[in-house]
Amino acid sequence: MRLFEAAFGSGLGARLQLGILPAGRRDGFLFGEFIGSCLLEVPPGCELSSLLTGIHYQTLGEVTEEPNLTLTDRGKVVWEEAIAQLTQGWTETFREVVK
């Protein structure tokens, strides 16, 4: 959800690598909100190990110019959707709640 919100606000997209997540249910990692966790976007080439010394982090993917969210597993695309399409579904839900 946070990844969608960042993409929605920026007009950019993202490619996320599922293969690096621990074994088990991936939906918990994709939709759960974990205390003490954050989603951090950094410029290409940024040396995170020097900035986050002593802090556990994991690189999940990359920002893309194409306004899509793409999930890959071992190099294979397993899901992809345009930000515009996701935005439409997201806003329709809010409209239904308000009615």
CA atoms within 13 A on the CB side of 59: 12
In tens, the pLDDT along 20-72 reads 887 777 777 777 777 777 888 899 899 999 999 999 888 889 999 999 999 99
Q: What is the pLDDT of residue 97?
A: 79
Q: What is the pLDDT of residue 30?
A: 75
Give the pair of three-digit tokens for residue 42.
Answer: 């950094």
Owning domain of residue 47: 2-98
DSSP for 52-79, written as a single string: STT------EEEESSSEEEEEETTEEEE
Dihedral pair phi/psi, residue 22, rounded to 5°: -60, 160
**Which residues does 90 contact at the CB level (< 8 Å), separation at least 6?**
4, 8
Whether pTM > 0.75 for this model: the answer is yes
Tally of structural domains, the chain: 1
- Band (pLDDT 50/70/90 cuts) for residue 1 is low
Q: Tell which wins on pLDDT, 79 or 33.
A: 79
Rounded to an integer, what distance in angstroms lies between the CA atom of residue 73 and that of residue 16? Answer: 9
